[in-house]
Each structure stands twice: as C-alpha cells, then as structure tokens.
Structure 1
Amino acid sequence: MAIQEIALDIDLSVGVFQDTIVEDQRLKLRELGHDVDGNSIYPATGYWESTAIRIQDKIASFKGVAAKVDVTGGAAYKIYWSTSEDGFEWLEYEEVLANSAVSQYPAKYAKVKIEIFAEKKYSNFYIDVFNQKDKYSNPFIESDSGSLSLKKIYQLNMERALDTPTGMVLRQKVEKAKFQKVDRIRVSKG
C-alpha cells in the first residue's frame, strides 16, 4: 500500500470566528483601532474553528496530518485538529506541528482550529490633549493650559462686611472640607 500526500483546501470563510476575520483569503486578527502613530492595534489572541469536514469520502485511512501555512507579519500561530466518528462527539484538539505528522485514528469527520497570537509592540496613546476650554466641570481641576492638574489658585468673590473711614472690610468663608491647607491669602485691589 502506497502512502500519498493529499492536500485539502479548507474554506476559511465559514466556521467560528473569535477576534479573527478573513480578508483577501487570509485569516487574521481583527483590527481594534489605531494608536497615535497610525499603527494597527489587535487583540492579544484570537482563533478560528472550522465546521465539520467530511474526510471519509476522500481518504480511506491516514497516518497523520501536516500543515503548510504562509505567514505575513509578526504574529505567531498554532494549528489544532480533532476527529469524530459521528460529527457530534469530538476528540480533544491536538496540535499539528509543521515538521511532524499527528497520528490519529481514522474517522469520518475532522475539524481544524487555528489560534493566532499578536506580535507585542509598544504603542503611543494620547488620552486627551487637554486644550479644550471648560471641558471638565470639576472646580478643582485645571486643564486649559494643555495638561491636567489640580487647581492651585482660586479666585473668590469677597463679601463687603463693613465700611470704615479708612477703607472697607471684606469677608470670605473658606470651608475646611474643600481644602486640606491654605498656603497664603492674597488680596488685590480691584
């Protein structure tokens, strides 16, 4: 009995997709967005699982499975496969290694699962540029200068308490619950 290699093309457009998509007949991680430099951002991992593939009509018995994959980009991948006699109860997935075949008992159905792991890179993100006037309504935060900081200078409207022959007395109540400490009080003419 001669051993012959048989290639099976698998339709990547049908199956279960978890953070993956098929684009230009290639399986890849779905794009989540872009960083400030325009680089694409992907989930850390994703997978695709095929529908049941009937193999009994094509192959009488087999020794194992090997995979040939064209990889572009820096992502890593793992390929798994599982078999079933009835198409409902499946054996545990076994990894298909590139340089060795997986020995498995002959079965009527097979499924393929491909896991993709994104390449880890540093990205730059800007949460906010803090240059929009009055964007934050918190009276203790200052953001108009292009950076987010706690407000340090408060201008309060003083109440006129008393008029004297040499001037006037102004009064302002400062609640202890709003400030932990007061460094100084400056009164300007105005």
Structure 2
Amino acid sequence: MAIQEIALDLDLSVGVFKDTIYQAQKLKLRELSQDADGNSIYPGNGSWESTPFRIQDKIASFKGVAASVDIAGGAAYKIYWSTSEDGFEWGAYEEILADVTAPKSPAKYAKVKIEIVAEKEYSNFYIDEFNQKGKYSNPFIESESGSLGLKKIYQLNMERASDTPTGMVLRQKVENTKFKKLDRIRVSKG
C-alpha cells in the first residue's frame, strides 16, 4: 500500500470562534480596543474550532497529521485535532507538531482547533488630570486636588433639635448604608 499526502483545506470562516475573527482571509484575535497611541489591544488568547468534517471517503488510514500555516504578526499558535466514529463522541485533542503526530486509528470524522496566543507589548494610556471642577458629580468622589479619590471629609448641615439654657442641640442623621465606618465626628463652632 502506497503512502500519499492528502491536503485538506479548512474553511476558517465557519466554526466556533472564541475571541477570534475571520477577516481578510485570515484567522486572528478580535480587537478589544485601542491604546492612547492608536495601537490595537487584543485578548491574551483566543481559539477557533472547525465544524466536523467527514474524512472516511478520503483517507483509509492515518500515519500522522501535519499542518502548513502562513503566519503574519507576532502571535504564537498551536493546532490540535480530534477524531470521532459517529460525529458525536470525540477523542481528546492532540497537538499537531512540525513532525508527524502519533498515529490514530481510522475514523469517519475529524475536527481541528487552533489556539492563538497574543504577543505581549507595552501600551500607553493617558489619564485625566482630575482638576476640572464639577466634572465628576458623584458625592463620594473627590477630584479637585489633581487626583481622583474617595471623599473622606463630609460637611453636613445639622438640624436644630432644641434650645437649652446654655446653648442648643443640633442633630444630623447618618445612615450606615452610605458609610462603611466613621473615624471621628468633629463639630466646629459656627
């Protein structure tokens, strides 16, 4: 029996995409956003899984599987394959290496999975100067000092509860749902 190489072209436009897209005849990671310099930001990794395809008509037995891939950009990738007799129960994915992978017994169906890992690079992000009055209207945030932070000092208007011969009693209700804890209460003469 003669051994013959058979090329199977995979349609990368159909399948299961996880943080990947098929664009301009290429499978690539989807763009999440852009940094301050206009460079694209991608997820750390993503994958694509083919739809099952019938191989029994094309191949009588396997010696191994190899892959030919054109790479553009700095991402790394791994290619896996799995086989099935009925198209429902699948064996574990095995990585397709540069050399021929371990032989598998003949099967009716196969599918391929490609994992892409993004190249790590530094990005620039610019943050607001936080010195514009009234830009952040949340009553619990403070930004007038040039940095964004939680407000720590609150001015509360006290209610006059009653008058006494030596002064007056003021009162202010503080709901425990608005504050996690109170460090101190200071009353100034007014």
The TM-score, its normalising length taken from structure 2, stands at 0.74
Contact 1:44 1:117 (C-alpha < 8 Å) held by counterparts? yes
Amino acid of the residue matched to residue 29 of structure 2?
Answer: L
Relative to 1, partners in 2 of residues 1:92 and 1:128: Cα closer, same or farther, differing over 3 Å? Answer: same
Over aligned residues, Cα RMSD in angstroms? 3.3
Match of 2:113 in 1: 113
98-107 or 142-151, which moves further after superposition? 142-151
SS of residue in 2 equivalent to 1:28: strand
Cα deviations by residue, 1:33-53 (Å, 9 ceiling, x for unpaired) = 011111111111110000111
Larger Rg: 1
Contact 1:66 1:102 (C-alpha < 8 Å) held by counterparts? no
Relative to 1, partners in 2 of residues 1:56 and 1:145: Cα closer, same or farther, differing over 3 Å? Answer: same
Match of 1:11 in 2: 11
Contact 2:95 2:101 (C-alpha < 8 Å) held by counterparts? no
Match of 2:178 in 1: none
Cα deviations by residue, 1:141-173 (Å, 9 ceiling, x for unpaired) = 553465436889x99xxxxxxxxxxxxxxxxx9
Alignment length (residue pairs): 173
Q: In 1, Cα distance between the equivalents of 2:25 and 2:40?
A: 20
Contact 2:75 2:118 (C-alpha < 8 Å) held by counterparts? yes
Relative to 1, partners in 2 of residues 1:17 and 1:141: Cα closer, same or farther, differing over 3 Å? Answer: closer
Q: In 1, Cα distance between the equivalents of 2:2 and 2:87?
A: 28
Contact 1:96 1:102 (C-alpha < 8 Å) held by counterparts? no
Match of 2:43 in 1: 43
Amino acid of the residue matched to residue 133 of structure 1?
Answer: K
Match of 2:81 in 1: 81
Q: In 2, Cα distance between the equivalents of 1:11 and 1:108?
A: 19
Shift of 1:71: 1.1
SS of residue in 1 equivalent to 2:17: strand
Seq. identity, %: 74
- Asked if 1:55 is matched to 2:51, the reply is no
Contact 2:32 2:40 (C-alpha < 8 Å) held by counterparts? yes
Q: Which runs of 5+ in 2 are unaligned?
A: 156-169, 175-181
Relative to 1, partners in 2 of residues 1:129 and 1:53: Cα closer, same or farther, differing over 3 Å? Answer: farther
Match of 2:165 in 1: none
Q: Which runs of 5+ in 1 are unaligned?
A: 156-172, 186-190
SS of residue in 2 equivalent to 1:122: coil
SS of residue in 2 equivalent to 1:21: strand
Q: In 2, Cα distance between the equivalents of 1:150 and 1:91?
A: 54
SS of residue in 1 equivalent to 2:5: coil
The TM-score, its normalising length taken from structure 1, stands at 0.74
